[in-house]
Structure formats: C-alpha cells, structure tokens
C-alpha cells in the first residue's frame, strides 16, 4: 500500500513524529492533479489523457478541531504555492518542501509538468471552496444544501447555550407536571435532581440517546445474558483455585473431621456465587492450619475461600435487578417525552443545536441525495467515534468516494470528549484493510529516547488475550458435584475481547538522529518525621527539585544540556514540563519565579482567568462571606462579589434581578441551601454539586473550547479535594486561596500566575495539551501519582459491548449488574488511556527526556506512593529499569542503563514577593515563518464589571458589526441573507441596517477583495500581544494577506469613520492611524521571518 495513493482506500497508523500532516497534504495535491505525483516505492502513472483530476469542491477533509482545519488548509495552500514556485524556478533549495517536490517533479517531462502547473493554478483560485472542516461544520453544509429533503431550514439558527438550558428546563418541568404516575414510580429510587441531569444528557447527546434507546430494547432480549458472559471472564482467573479447592475439601474433611461444617459453608457459598444470588453463610470459627491438615490441603481450601470472597461483589439481587429494569423502562419513557417536548420548543423558536445537526445530517444521508464528493480524508482518526464514522461512510457511499483515514491509536487520549479508540481498527476493516499501513519512523526524538519508549510501551500496550474458561475436573471432591457442574456451565460462554487497547508497533529512528539523553529526578520525601510541614509535602519538594534542575540547566551547569541553555539564552523554545493534572502547574511556576525564572503556563489559556473558574470562585466567595454581610453598610468589594456571583453563569441573574436583590437585601434561596451544604459536605463535593445542579458543563458544551472548560472545572474540583485533604473543609480558607491565585497583589499583574506571551523558553503544559508539540527538553513530573485517583465515576454510565449498548445507574445504594460491569470496563479503559497519554508525553522531546518522581518513605519503607501499587507512570518505566526503591530513596544510585539520576540539593529559592529578586529574562522570541496560531491570544483588557454596563448601539458598534461580517462572509457579501443574522444577534436598530450593508459591500470594490477572490492567503481579525519597551501591548489586525504578484504581505485596516469632507490623509494623521499601521507592521515583521511587508493601507468603508 502506497500512503500517497489516490486510487485505493488507504488507512495509516501514523506513529508519533512520523509526518502525518506531511502525508495528508501531499496526497491532497495528488488528488488535485489526478495521479500519484508524490509517491513512495515504484511509481506508475496512467496515460496523461486518462487522468481525472478532482476539483477542490470534490474533496472533503475532516479534522478534529476548527484550528486543525485552518492549519491543514494553510499547509495545503503553502504546498501548492511551493510546488508552483519550484516549477517557476523560484523555490529556495533550502526550503523544507524542496526535496519532496523535486523528487516528485524531476522525473516528469514537460507535458506532465504543464498539466501539474495548470491544475494547481486552477485549484489555488478555488481552494476557498474546499471542505476542510470539523464533522459538525461538514454536516451543517449538508443541511444547507439538502435540508429541503427533510423540510429543514437550510440556514439553521444555532441556539445559544443559555436559551438551550432554559428550553430544556421548561420541557422537563412540563413533563413532570403532565406525568405524575411515571414520576411516582421513578422517584422512589432516583432523585429528581439526578434524573434531570440524565434526562438532559439524553436530550442533548445523540450518541447517548441512541445507546439508551437500544438498551431499553435489549432489556427484553432473553437471549442476552450479561452475567454469564461477565462471570466466565472472572472465573477464568480463579479456575485453578476452584479446581484445587473442590478437590481438597474431601481431604480436609478426612484429615480434620471438625472442619466438615467449614467445608459445608464453603460449598454453600460457592453454589450461591455460581448461581449469582442466594444466601451467603458465615464461616464457623477460624480456619488455621494444624498438625492434622496437610500444607497443600490447607492452601488449596484457603485459596478457594479467598477466591469466593474476592468474587462476592459480582452477586446480584434478582428482585432488585427486575426492579431496575422496570425503573429503566419508566425512565426511558420519561426521557422520550422530555426530548420530544424539548425538540418541539426548539422547532417553534426556529432553533437547532450541534447534536441535532449530526442527527439530521445522518437522516439526510439515508435519503436519495446526490453528492459530488470523490475523496474523503479524515485526520486525527483516533479521536473519532462510531457515530461520526457512520456519517462519513454514508456520505462516501453516495458517489463511491475514495476514503483515506490517518491517525494513531496510541495517541487516542480524548475519551472524555467521546473519542473511541476501537473505531480505528473497525473502520480500517470496513474499507477492506485488515492492517493499516504503518508510519513508524519518528523524525522528532533522538535514538535513546525512542529506544526507551519502545522498551516501555511494547509490554505495557501488549494486548492481553482473553483466556477461554476450561472445565474443571476434580478428584476426591467433597459433595461438590453441583458446584462443579455449575462452574462448567460457564465454559460455554464467549470470551470477552477488550477493544479499547491500542496496538503497539515499535518506532524507528533515522540514521541521522543523535543519541540524546535521559535522566531521572528522584525526590526522596520522609513521612516518618514527626510534625513536619514542607519537608513532608512531596508535591512541593518535587516541584522545587524540578525548578532547581531547570535553573542549573539554564545557567549552563550541565554540559550535556548546553544546547538547551543556548536555546534559552536566545529566547527560543527550550524546556517543557508536562503534568497529567493542572494542579501542579501554577505551583511550579511559583517555584521557578522564586529562582528568578519566568515560565509560560501553556494549556489553552490561563486557568485562573477563565470564565468558568472565576464564576465558581466568586460564588464560593459569596458563600464564605454571606453570613457576615452588613446590608446597611455594604463595602464596594462585597457589592462586587454579590453582583459577580449573581451575574455568573452559575446563578445567571439579569441586571434587574441583581438590582432587586441589592434593594431588598436578600440573596436567592439556593445560596442558603449551598451554604448549609458546606457545613457537612467536603469542599470538592460542594463544588461538584454546584456545577451539576446548575448544569454548568452543559452550558458550555457547544461553544468554543468546551473540552478545555470541562477540564478546568474538573481541575478546580481536584484542587478543592486536595485542599480538603490538606486543610479540611474550610470554605473561607479555600476561597481565600483561590483569590490569592486570581488576584496576586505581591507581583505585577502579568506575573501573577498568567500566560506571559513571549516567555516561551520554559513552558508548563498538561500532557493533553502537549499533543502535536515538541521541545528540545521535556520533563515529565509527578510520575508517582496513582492512575486510580484520576478515574471519575458518574451516576449513570454507558458503554458498547458485543455490538450492544449498555446503560447502568444505581438504584438507591444498590449497584445493578450492568452498572458494575460497565464501571469495571470504564476503569480498564481509563488505565489503558493513561498509558496512551504517557506515550504522548514521552514522544514530545527532541533531544532530552527527564523523568521526575517523588520517592516516599513510610513506616513500612520507601515506595512511590502510599497506596497506588503499580498503577502509575514511573512503574511503567521501572518495569524496564528495575530500580530498587530503597536504594533510590537512600541516594545510592547515580546511574542506571546510561540514565543519569539527580537528587535535590538544598532549596535556594527566595520568596517570590521579594522586590529585590533578580529575574532572569529570556531574550525576545526569534522571528519565525508565520502561522495563524503561533501568536494568538485574546485582545484587550477585560473589565470584571463590564457585564453591569449598559451599552447603546452607536456608529462604533455598527463598525464592529461590519468587521464581523467581513471576517466571516467576505466571499458572499452579495447574499442579503447573511446580514439578517447579525442584525438579530446584535439587536441592530433599523436606522443602522442599510448603512451596515452598504459599508460591507464597499469592500467588494477594493483591490484587496480581488486579491482574496483570486486565492490569496489571508487572515482576518488577528489578535496579538507584543512586548515593547518593557510594556505588553495588545492589538488586532483587521486583515493581512500575501500578494503573490508583489511577493509580500499587505496589511489592511478597515475604517468606517466618516471623512466629513476632509481628505483621507488628514483623517489618518488626526486619528493616529498611520502610527497604528506602523505598529501592526512592527508586529508582523517579528513573525514572518524573511518575508517582507510591501504595503500598509487603510480601506475606507464609509
């Protein structure tokens, strides 16, 4: 199979650093020219006249995120341009694309080259029509084209999250009122609060809804016996215990007749267990070995007894199980009614949501619609789920389209967003590929790093084959015939195959790669010291060790890391510290600051400045002070806290409601309930209750950055749990600590635990956030942390097993069989995903990998952590290295298998609040080839009370609307329908509407519009931050694009300012627009490298 081949379906398993995007972009070019221009191995071309090149609008490329879609389009755009430059003899020999383009074009004669040039020039003009998008955007396009088939609005209006929650709440309450009998049946076992959360998930999540519907039918399937299948898998582990134990019972009764009653109890419990239900008997007396009992007999009976004890949890209560199924039927009936009422409300208001778009697109594809798509390519396929893949295959079947999928099972780390690692293998088989093509050459990391990666993950990811349960044959059994027969009935059950483990194929390294280095930072922590504080804080001690090590590296104290020190001194990307949890990130930044080092916390935004974290904080703050409020003499800060909490996305009060609360001096009743809850509920449970009760996660589900917001909320809950463990459930103390993080007054604003643009030499990143990135040195911290503490258990769980959907939830305190089964599988999946997450982390470094762990000493001796066993990252590595933890704790090992081991010295950090501390600043970040995503951050400073301000619609607001229209619809300004959407969204007064349309269409008369229509690479509304003379300056460029004819960038600033009979030149000088353009030019020059800016212009729209 040729990975660039366009004439056959292709599935590629692309290992870390193997060039996945490189491959996809070149295959895209092959499709545009109609033959395998780029190839590997032997190349065979059809006749020139037989070629069938595809137009951009006949190619669909699905990516995981909108950012990924834009990046992919940019890579394809650049490759087309560079290929044309090569043909024109203008491509620099040192360009990264030169060798691959030369290899592709050099063998071709002139007619073929002319064909390539013609096709690519044509494609360049129409590349804006290509579908390179997320699956949701693609489905929205389908509805816009074919919505009439289902009588759908071809321009569906996406409902806002607040309105969606309100619509659902109204529907739920209406059904509760209309269905008292159903509610009576359900409310005996499930609280209405919990029920609301599950019903909301049913209404909002198409995949979950389908699973629930299917399981409601499966409950009536008498052929499906989950317990027998599940029990057989457990019995295979204990088979030897049962066989030897049953055989030994007769010997025990003979050797010591006084144990006959004990043997009877064991047999009775064995029968109860194998039946799955019944009475469990207490064992009479103690079972101790005596002189009459032989050693083998004693151990065999003891092994059987212990096996029964360990399997007791698998038993069920038949009455409770029947009641569970009955309750589930009532629940399902209720959910269907709520969902139908919710959908009706949306239809009546003319709204839809993203999940419905997927469903509607799926239904459309079952109709007889004609698609012109000839090629489907799906990037990051490991992050796809079966529902999305079903949409792709249905769409591809419409025109017998060619399918290309590329991903890496080993990097499937987003299960919490719905990704399913098993889909990759199933999808490959469904397009006739039993084993995907492997791209195993890692071009990122040095040899020693890849060798260790292979050594760790080849055994760690080895798929464990399910063991078939064999019958037991017992000799000399003690009345065990019934039990033996029951045991052997399970041997007829099929084996359970785990499809959630990735297939590991060893990575290779090119001969040109260096050796690289690996090191371990071992931090011994003694917990046996009486009344110790910092000395026993393993997290603090390890973070100080990491910070000290980084300080030594940047100061050049380790010659083997001289390249890292050099990169740091030049302000280049040098070191990344990765954690699997955000809770260590800001404390590490603080430790670095105490050593004079500045670091950038790079995890899709600053945790403590995010809206969701601030909302939770300000509600907790209000809860902590509400008992002491003096309503007659409220201070300014107290008014701010009250207003902020009421206006938050948690309480969602309007301005009138806030004013009412302040006037009547009374807070909403829900706050008093939460306050009472805080007295007897752990902090993390309190936060979790607030989040769930107010449906905060669902509020953010379909807006940009949902997954990060969800992770932020989870991290805050983890912080609350960690604080409770350390300080007790002290609500005021926790809110004060959060306030200190958010409003650190002891350092300058930009230094207070925030992202510092331009300080990118040292970055602190989550493992999830590191995916797709690389650094010269990577330090992986907190490697002794237990996996098991990271698994979140939900009230309701669901999973797919044997092509069947399973749903489980608790009935009071009773855990039904299906709930236990799914919960066990979820734990197994969680452990498998943690291994994949660690794989992602270990494949990020280019030259130096550093593994950091605490070694804790307890009364029973040194170990990684108190009760984590082998479920942690460092154990995965140590399975290969074989380090003795006691020797490591005692600092007796300096090196193992060419891996250096470093221990902490005395901490030399200063108090970060000390004004005399000397901060070691990295140099300015070097210029680099422009990429839209390199330097984006929100522009402007947010006023925390801005939401209380009333704003009138004026000429300035009208100008902002024009900017948004040009950014999103510059290519379809003649379509009058686009303006209505913005008029509604911004509540545009009637007197402004015609002027907004006129100003937008003025852009069509400019030469800039012509350049964009001809395919110029362009970027609208680019926010940026630049450091100048020690100050941080923020700005936003309206438009800049690359002019191919002039070979340079053009900066355009839109102005809707009226000239009022003045010359444009006078208005520019009066308003300082010339200086503004110069500032934009200074910024852009810092990121475009050797390319030039040929023009900086005002585009007058007034």
Pull the structure tokens for residue 3.
């990975």
For residue 261, count CB atoms less than 10 angstroms from its CB and return exposed for 0-12, middle for 13-18, buried for 19 or more: middle
Residue 672, burial from CB neighbour count under 10 angstroms (0-12, 13-18, 19+): middle
For the chain, percent helix, then strand, then coil, each to nearest 5?
A: 50, 15, 35
Q: Is the CB of residue 919 less than 8 Å from the CB of residue 551?
A: no
Q: Which of 32, 28, 35 is nearest to 7 (CA)?
A: 35
Return the half-sphere exposure (C-beta side, CA atoms, 13 A cut-off) of residue 157: 17
Alpha helices in 147-225 (DSSP H): 161-178, 180-186, 192-204, 206-218
Helix (H, G, I), strand (E, B) or coil at 899: strand
CA atoms of 696 and 699, how far apart (whole Å): 5
Q: Decide if 256 contacts 293 (C-beta within 8 A).
A: yes
The Cα 40–Cα 43 span in angstroms is 7
Contact assessment for residue 444 and residue 846, using Cβ atoms and an 8 Å cutoff = yes
Residue 1028's Cβ-count burial label (10 Å; 0-12, 13-18, 19+) is exposed
Task: Compute the distance between CA of residue 767 and CA of residue 752 in angstroms, rounded to an integer.
Answer: 23
Residue with tokens 């460092």: 874
In whole angstroms, give the CA distance from residue 419 to residue 423: 9
Closest CA to 374 of 12, 120, 8, 54: 54
**Of 361, 364, 365, 395, whose CA–CA distance to 58 is shortest?**
395
Residues belonging to the binding site are: 14-21
DSSP alpha helix (H) spans, 49-160: 66-87, 98-105, 110-126, 135-146
> How far is Cα 480 from Cα 117, in angstroms, rounded to an integer?
82
Q: Do the strands 1031-1043 and 1048-1055 form a parallel or antiparallel pair, or are they unpaired?
A: antiparallel
**Which residues in 730-827 belong to E strands, given as ranges?**
762-766, 775-780, 796-801, 804-809
Distance CA 464, CA 480 (A): 32
Nearest to 82 by CA among 69, 98, 94, 70: 98
Which residue, 343, 362, 361, is CA-closest to 159?
Answer: 343
Query: How many Å separate Cα 79 from the centre of its chain?
Result: 29
8 A C-beta contact, residue 51 and residue 115: yes
Q: What does the radius of gyration of the chain's CA atoms come to, in whole angstroms? A: 32
Q: Which residues of 469-507 are buried (b: 16+ CB within 10 A; e: fewer)?
A: beebebeebbebeebbebbeebeebeebeeebbbbbbeb
CB atoms < 10 A from the CB of 668, how many?
A: 14
CB 417 within 8 A of CB 708: no
Task: List the one residue out of 939, 854, 935 whose CA is nearest residue 600.
Answer: 935
CB 297 within 8 A of CB 314: no
What is the edge-to-edge ordering of all strands in the sheet holding 1093-1100?
Answer: 1018-1028, 1031-1043, 1048-1055, 1093-1100
Strand partners, 719: none
Q: Residue 585: helix, strand or coil by DSSP?
A: helix
Question: Rounded to an integer, what distance in angstroms lies between the CA atom of residue 567 and that of residue 761?
Answer: 8
**Binding-site residues for ATP:** 14-21
């Amino acid at each position: 199979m040729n990975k660039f081949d366009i004439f056959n379906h292709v599935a590629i398993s692309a290992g870390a650093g193997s060039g996945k995007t490189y491959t996809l972009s070149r295959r895209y070019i092959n499709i545009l020219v109609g033959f395998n221009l780029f190839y590997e191995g032997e190349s065979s071309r059809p006749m020139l006249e037989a070629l069938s090149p595809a137009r951009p609008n006949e190619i669909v490329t699905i990516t995981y995120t909108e950012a990924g879609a834009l990046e992919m389009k940019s890579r394809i755009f650049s490759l087309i341009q560079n290929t044309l430059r090569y043909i024109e003899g203008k491509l620099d020999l040192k360009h990264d694309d030169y060798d691959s383009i030369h290899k592709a074009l050099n063998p071709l004669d002139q007619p073929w080259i002319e064909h390539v040039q013609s096709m690519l020039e044509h494609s360049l003009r129409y590349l804006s029509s290509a579908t390179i998008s997320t699956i949701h955007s693609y489905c929205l396009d389908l509805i816009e084209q074919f919505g009439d088939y289902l009588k759908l609005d071809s321009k569906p209006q996406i409902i806002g999250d607040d309105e969606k929650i309100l619509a659902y709440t109204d529907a739920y309450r209406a059904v509760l009122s209309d269905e008292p009998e159903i509610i009576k049946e359900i409310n005996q076992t499930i609280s209405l609060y919990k029920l609301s959360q599950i019903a909301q998930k049913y209404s909002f999540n198409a995949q979950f809804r389908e699973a629930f519907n299917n399981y409601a039918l499966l409950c009536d399937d008498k052929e499906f016996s989950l317990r027998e299948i599940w029990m057989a898998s457990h019995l295979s582990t204990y088979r030897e215990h049962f066989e030897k134990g049953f055989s030994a019972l007769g010997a025990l009764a003979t050797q010591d007749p006084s144990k006959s009653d004990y043997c009877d109890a064991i047999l009775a419990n064995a029968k109860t267990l194998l039946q799955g239900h019944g009475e469990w008997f207490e064992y009479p007396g103690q079972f101790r070995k005596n002189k009459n009992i032989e050693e083998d007999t004693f151990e065999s009976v003891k092994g059987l007894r212990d096996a029964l004890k360990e399997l007791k949890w698998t038993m069920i209560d038949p009455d409770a199980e029947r009641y569970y199924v009955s309750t589930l039927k009532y629940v399902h009936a209720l959910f269907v009614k709520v969902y139908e009422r919710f959908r009706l409300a949306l239809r009546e208001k003319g709204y839809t949501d993203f999940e419905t778009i997927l469903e509607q697109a799926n239904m459309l594809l079952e109709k007889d619609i004609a698609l012109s798509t000839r090629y489907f390519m799906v990037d990051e396929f490991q992050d796809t789920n079966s529902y999305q893949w079903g949409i792709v295959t249905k769409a591809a079947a419409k025109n017998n389209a060619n399918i290309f999928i590329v991903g890496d099972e080993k990097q499937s780390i987003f299960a919490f967003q719905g990704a399913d690692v098993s889909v990759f293998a199933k999808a490959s088989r469904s397009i006739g590929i039993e084993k995907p093509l492997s791209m195993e050459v890692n071009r990122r990391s040095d040899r020693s790093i890849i060798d260790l990666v292979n050594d760790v993950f080849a055994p760690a990811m080895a798929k464990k084959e399910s063991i078939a349960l064999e019958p037991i044959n017992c000799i000399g059994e003690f009345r065990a015939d019934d039990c033996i027969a029951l045991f052997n009935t399970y041997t007829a059950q099929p084996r359970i195959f785990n499809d959630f483990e990735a297939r590991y194929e060893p990575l290779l390294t090119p001969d040109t790669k260096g050796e690289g280095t690996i090191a371990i930072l071992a931090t011994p922590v003694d917990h046996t010291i009486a009344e110790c504080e910092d000395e026993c804080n393993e997290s603090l001690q390890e973070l100080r060790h990491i910070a000290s090590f980084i300080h030594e590296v940047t100061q050049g104290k380790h010659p083997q890391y001289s390249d890292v020190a050099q990169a740091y001194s030049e302000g280049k990307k040098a070191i990344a510290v990765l954690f699997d949890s955000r809770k260590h990130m800001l404390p590490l930044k603080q430790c670095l600051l105490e050593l004079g080092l500045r670091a950038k916390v790079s995890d899709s935004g600053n945790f403590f400045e995010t809206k969701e974290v601030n909302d939770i904080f300000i509600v907790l703050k209000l809860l902590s002070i509400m008992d002491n409020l003096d309503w007659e003499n409220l201070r300014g800060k107290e008014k701010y806290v009250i207003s902020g909490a009421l206006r938050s996305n948690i309480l969602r009060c309007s301005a009138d409601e806030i004013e009412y609360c302040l006037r009547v001096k009374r807070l909403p009743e829900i706050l008093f309930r939460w306050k009472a809850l805080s007295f007897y509920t752990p902090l993390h449970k309190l936060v979790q209750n607030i989040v769930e009760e107010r449906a905060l996660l669902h509020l953010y589900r379909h807006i940009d950055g949902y997954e990060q917001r969800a992770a932020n909320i989870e991290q805050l809950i983890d912080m609350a749990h960690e604080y409770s463990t350390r300080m007790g459930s002290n609500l005021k103390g926790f809110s004060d600590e959060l306030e200190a993080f958010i409003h650190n007054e002891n350092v300058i604003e930009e230094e207070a635990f925030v992202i510092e643009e331009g300080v990118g030499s040292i970055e602190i990143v989550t493992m999830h956030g590191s995916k797709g990135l690389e650094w010269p040195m990577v330090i992986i911290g907190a490697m002794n942390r237990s996996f098991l503490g990271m698994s979140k258990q939900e009230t309701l769980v669901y999973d797919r097993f044997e092509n069947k959907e399973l749903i489980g939830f608790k009935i009071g305190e009773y855990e039904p069989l299906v709930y236990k089964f799914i919960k066990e599988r979820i734990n197994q999946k969680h452990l498998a995903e943690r291994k994949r997450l660690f794989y992602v982390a270990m494949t990020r470094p280019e030259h130096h990998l550093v593994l950091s762990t605490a070694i804790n000493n307890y009364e029973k001796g040194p170990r990684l952590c108190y009760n984590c066993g082998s479920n942690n990252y460092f154990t995965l590595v140590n399975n290969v290295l074989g380090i003795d933890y006691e020797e490591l704790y005692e600092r007796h090992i300096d090196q193992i298998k060419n891996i250096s081991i470093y221990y902490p010295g005395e901490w030399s950090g200063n108090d970060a609040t000390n004004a005399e501390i000397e901060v070691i600043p990295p140099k300015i970040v070097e210029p680099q080839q422009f990429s839209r995503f390199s330097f984006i951050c929100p522009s402007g400073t947010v006023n925390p009370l801005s939401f209380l301000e009333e704003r009138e619609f004026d000429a300035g607001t009208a100008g902002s609307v024009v900017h948004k229209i040009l950014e999103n619809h510059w290519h379809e300004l003649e379509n009058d329908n686009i303006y209505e959407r913005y008029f509604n969204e911004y509540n545009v007064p009637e007197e402004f509407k015609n002027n907004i349309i006129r100003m937008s269409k003025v852009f069509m008369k400019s030469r800039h519009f012509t350049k964009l229509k001809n395919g110029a690479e362009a970027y609208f509304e680019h926010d940026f931050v630049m450091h100048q003379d020690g100050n941080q300056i923020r700005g936003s460029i309206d438009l800049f694009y690359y002019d191919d004819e002039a070979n340079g960038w053009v900066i355009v600033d839109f102005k809707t300012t009226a000239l009022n009979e003045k010359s444009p030149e006078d208005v520019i000088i009066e308003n300082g627009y010339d200086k503004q353009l110069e500032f934009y030019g200074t910024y852009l020059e810092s990121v475009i490298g050797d390319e030039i800016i040929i023009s900086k212009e005002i585009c007058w729209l007034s």
